[in-house]
Amino acid sequence: MKSIMVTGCAGFIGSHVCERLLEQGYQVVGLDNFDPFYPKAIKERNMEGFRTHTNFSFYEIDLRKEIPVNQIVQKVDLVIHLAGKAGVRPSIDDPQSYIESNITATQNILAYMREKSIKKMAFASSSSVYGNTESVPFQEDFKLDEPISPYAFTKKSCELLNHTYHHLYGFDIINLRFFTVFGPRQRPDLAIHKFLRLMREGKSIPVFGDGTTARDYTYIEDTVSGILQACLYLDTHQSVYETINLGNCFPVLLSELIEVLGKEARVETLIDRLPMQAGDVQQTYADISRAEKLIGYKPKVSFAEGIKRFVEWFDCN
């Protein structure tokens, strides 16, 4: 495995993945369409550290449209498919755009791979597929027939689509269910980034519910390590179709997140209590035993340490 395609390369996770791959000597082909979900300038800054790297090639491509087979000249051995539209609440307002950006885009990537005889892919799924599952921690073999947002529905649909290509064409695929990834370059709409920005501006934080919702926050370095470990597994194994959780196995209450973030930022937090929103889940909690057994995944960065690093990054940018 020498050359890897990374879709969504200008995003939060994608840019970190590209940097790690380039550091390790891989040839990287990056795809992104600079979706206006948040400013293009932010994504361009994400790529500043590697945009001109000799081993990096970039294509601005909208995956909602079919990829011309000969448009990308480099041959790749594996695809890390991170591109897609994220966000639970926005998906409720505009479900069609999520169907196009997630399901249609994934179909187009799979079709491109088939045309180019690329048979290995690591796919970015989401903990959202678990919905309001009451059994914890979340295990990959849970029956998941009750999604509670269009975003969750599209991610589960993509997993099923991936299985179809595995069955019909022998693709080797690992679905990676991410659990609330955070750290430097985190999207500005996500809670930790948004809360810290409001704290620094002296504004109140909107809290939906009573603060008892919980998320399994996973630091970006650990998520990237899991992605690359999955790629190495795909490179050395055949007839693979797997789904694994990439979480931290340590849910944190929303009230605790705000407390730790405020303490690290050294500010007094102001709270604006609001009712729970449709599509929000009560908690996420990853069972990571399968990921540990399959690819050797072991998160190393604690929640508190991750928050400290994020605050340091935020205050320098």
Domains recognised in the chain with CATH numbers: 3-182+219-247+286-299 (3.40.50.720)
pLDDT tens per residue across span 256-265: 999 999 999 9
pLDDT tens per residue across span 213-232: 999 999 999 999 999 999 99
- Does pLDDT of 277 surpass 90? no
pLDDT tens per residue across span 94-144: 999 999 999 999 999 999 999 999 999 999 999 999 999 989 999 999 999
Q: How far is CA 101 from the centre of its chain?
A: 14
What average pLDDT does range 134-159 have in this prediction?
Answer: 95
Q: What is the pLDDT of residue 153?
A: 96
- φ, ψ for residue 293, nearest 5 deg: -70, -40
Compute the distance between CA of residue 245 and CA of residue 139 in angstroms, rounded to an integer: 8
Q: What is the pLDDT of residue 95?
A: 97
Indicate the pLDDT class of residue 281, thresholds 50, 70 and 90.
confident
Compute the distance between CA of residue 240 and CA of residue 37 in angstroms, rounded to an integer: 33
| Cβ proximity of 218 and 178 under 8 Å | yes
pLDDT tens per residue across span 26-67: 999 999 999 998 999 999 999 999 999 999 999 999 999 999
Catalytic residue among 130, 151, 217, 285: 151
Q: What is the pLDDT of residue 141?
A: 96
Q: What is the pLDDT of residue 275?
A: 87
Q: What is the pLDDT of residue 69?
A: 80
| Number of Cβ within a 10 Å radius of residue 308 | 14
Indicate the pLDDT class of residue 308, thresholds 50, 70 and 90.
very high
Q: What token pair was written down for 313?
A: 């990054």
Q: Where are the alpha helices (DSSP H) in the chain?
A: 12-23, 40-46, 88-93, 95-98, 105-116, 150-169, 191-200, 220-236, 254-265, 289-295, 303-315
> Would you tell me the crossing angle of helices 220-236 and 12-23 to the nearest 10 degrees?
60
Active site residue 130: no
- Does pLDDT of 292 surpass 90? yes
At 176 the three-state DSSP class reads: strand
Compute the distance between CA of residue 262 and CA of residue 243 in angstroms, rounded to an integer: 36
| Cβ proximity of 128 and 152 under 8 Å | yes
Query: Pick from 96, 86, 85, 91: which is nearest to 191 by CA?
Result: 86
Question: What does the mean pLDDT of the chain come to?
Answer: 96
